[in-house]
Amino acid sequence: MEILKELRSSMGFSQQKLADKLGVSRSTVAMWESGASQPDNDSLLHLAKIFNTSTDFLLGNVEERYASPKSVKVPVLGYIRAGIPLDAVEEILDYEEVDPAMTAKGDLFALRVKGDSMEPRIREGDVIICAETPCVESGTVAVVLVNGNEATVKKVVKHKEGLSLVAFNPVYSPMFYTNEECETLPVRIVGRVIELRGKF
């Protein structure tokens, strides 16, 4: 089912995210996409509903092309503090629509900002669209997990001895973590900020 991979990519889903929606394993989705196995009827119906298409199209029984979505919905997963790190809450608060072309940047998620440490560029209530990634270049604004589950958005500045999380607001001092602390706390980059959506 090569079309399944195309549809999944158009929606910005990873294999794992699609598997979670269907209640199956990631390897099952991979086997469907490779043609090693076929989804059962219930899964086919669920897939057709997710992608707003027909089971016949998924199975290759009809020729009409699937119309690409005009936008992709990205879940806003919760608040993130632009200041003191705040526990990352993986509950969906809302959805933001993005151009399907943005999915080429990777798996997308969005977070709502709290705090004033990234002012004046990023303000409380703004939504940041992020591409999942474990690594960014020095100077990139990124989402970072500290102590495993405390999420913050900062500019990441890399040093030989470790990295600094730098606020835009000069009132806040940079937070420096040694390479050892990055491993033991841990400090982990989870996403690169690719778009800012300000709220009025």
**DSSP structural state of residue 18:** H
Confidence check: pLDDT of 60 > 90: no
Range(s) of the chain covered by CATH 2.10.109.10: 72-197
Residue type, 65: R
Going by C-beta distance under 8 Å and a sequence separation of 6 or more, which residues neighbour residue 186? 145, 147, 148
pLDDT category, 65, cuts 50, 70, 90? very low
Q: What is the mean pLDDT of residues 24-37?
A: 92
Mean pLDDT calculated for residue range 12-39 = 91
* Rounded percentage of the chain residues whose pLDDT exceeds 90: 38
How far apart are alpha carbons 26 and 15 in whole angstroms? 6
pLDDT category, 59, cuts 50, 70, 90?
A: confident
Task: Render pLDDT for 70-81 as a digit per residue (tens, 0 to 9).
Answer: 677 888 877 665
Considering only CA atoms, which of 71, 73, 75, 76 is closest in space to residue 100?
Answer: 71
Inter-axis angle of helices 41-50 and 15-22, nearest 10: 120
- Predicted pLDDT at 80: 67
Superfamily for domain range 2-59: lambda repressor-like DNA-binding domains (1.10.260.40)
- Write down the pLDDT at residue 183: 93
The pLDDT value recorded for residue 100 is: 76
Query: CATH number for the 72-197 domain, one of 3.60.15.10, 1.25.40.10, 2.10.109.10, 3.20.20.70?
Result: 2.10.109.10
Distance CA 21, CA 134 (A): 24
Question: What pLDDT, on a 0 to 100 scale, did the predictor assign at position 151?
Answer: 79
Give catalytic residues, as residue numbers: 117, 154
